[in-house]
Amino acid sequence: MKLFGSLLLLMPLSFAHAISPDEIIREDQRNGIMAATNLVQPVQVSDLQAVYDLKDRALGGRGRQAIYLAVPSHLQRGLLDSISLTHRQDPREERECRSGSDRDCLPAYVSTEVFDSLRTRGNWRYWGGTGSGPLNSKFAEIRDGRGETDNIYEWSRKGHHSVENEKDFSKDEISPALLRIRSVGKDDARIQQVVLKISPPRVAIMDDLIFAQGLKFGDYVTAHGRRYPGNPGMGDYGYALMLESDHRPRHIKLDRSFPVERGSFRLPLKAGQRLVSVDVACGDMKPVPGGADPQRYRGGAYITIRRWVRGVPAEDLVKNFNVGSNGVIRATSQNINRIVGQNEEIEIKAERGHISVMGVRIGAN
């Protein structure tokens, strides 16, 4: 693994807005958006993350209802990294199509929006990546039980738009003061869980293991300069490591210092350091023969990244994370001040499907 050094840099603490969630919600009400429930508090909070349990909350379609999620004060002082949304449509509520139809005649699209405290106008922002519906929203699949988890990440690379004016596009950093979830399609959605992640401050040590030549992780905080090899839309990720749940991974960069099992491999951590993050550059598109429609070759892959030491229960940093077609998944430590002990490792595991791993970067202090 290649060793890099950088100075520890704290996140910016200046705010353009000192405004309370109640004031923001009242302003939304004046604009015709109504709260579907009381302000939701997180059920789990750590140094860089907040988890919200929505308990399969029904959310009305067409964007006139919203669920508001409170952001803990220490996370408001940070910069947005990613948001994970678990949602679905209830099949018992799908009566708009003719009997026997497998179509979703009234689709539900869920928009995840962030109130940026660093702005003086256009504060409600939506993701600049590729979505399925209005405001780059995510399609809520018709499912029983657990819904699909969509991951809205690389905000600093993909950018974001103003909800009020889509032409207002920016790649500036976001400090989240409040989250807003809306069903902006024609049908209701059910919201189960939301996970907010904040970018870590700059770390003193970065170790990386590059499998695919041409991968560049870019800046640790902003992702500026990030580059991917190959043509991921066609299932080409360069000479990446293929991680499949039923097979032991093989790659010229994996030697005996990296233990492998079916569907997983492990990277040693250095005792005495403080683990902050694990970045995995990966995608789930299978190779496409002869230029066929790449949409038919989605891997449907899920990844788990955990802190592991023999004889001790593993700490899941990311569990069953839905891998996108191309991107960097960042897993962060629950306690960034915990010191790494002897024989600790990071395990990267394919829970399902086909994952092309282009590289891994570990940030520590």
Task: Please tell me which residue, 97 or 221, carries the higher pLDDT value.
Answer: 221
Give the Cβ contact number of residue 202 at 10 Å.
18
Whether residue 10 has pLDDT greater than 60:
no
pLDDT tens digits, residue range 28-69?
999 999 999 999 999 999 999 999 999 999 998 888 999 999
How far CA 191 is from CA of 46, 145, 152, 153, in Å, comes to 22, 12, 15, 19
How is residue 244 written in tokens?
Answer: 């499949």
Whether residue 287 has pLDDT greater than 80:
no
How much is the mean pLDDT over the chain? 88
Q: How many residues does the chain have?
A: 365
- In the chain, where the domains are located: 12-198, 201-364
Nearest to 35 by CA among 230, 172, 164, 180: 180
- Fold identical between 12-198 and 201-364? yes
pLDDT tens digits, residue range 252-280?
998 888 999 999 999 999 999 999 999 99
Please report which confidence band the pLDDT of residue 296 belongs to, taking 50, 70 and 90 as the band edges.
low
How is residue 31 written in tokens?
Answer: 């604009």
Nearest to 47 by CA among 200, 179, 260, 257: 200
Q: How far apart are alpha carbons 222 and 247 in whole angstroms?
A: 35
CATH architecture of the domain covering 201-364:
Sandwich (2.60)
**What percent of the chain stands above pLDDT 90?**
65
Residue showing tokens 């039980």: 145
pTM score of the predicted model = 0.84
Q: How would you label 59-88 residue by residue, b for 16+ Cβ within 10 Å and e otherwise? A: bbbebebbbbbbbeeebbbbbbbbbbbbbb
Nearest to 69 by CA among 193, 158, 202, 175: 193
Is 225 within 8 Å of 218 (Cβ atoms)? yes
CATH architecture of the domain covering 12-198:
Sandwich (2.60)
Task: Please tell me which residue, 254 or 361, carries the higher pLDDT value.
Answer: 361
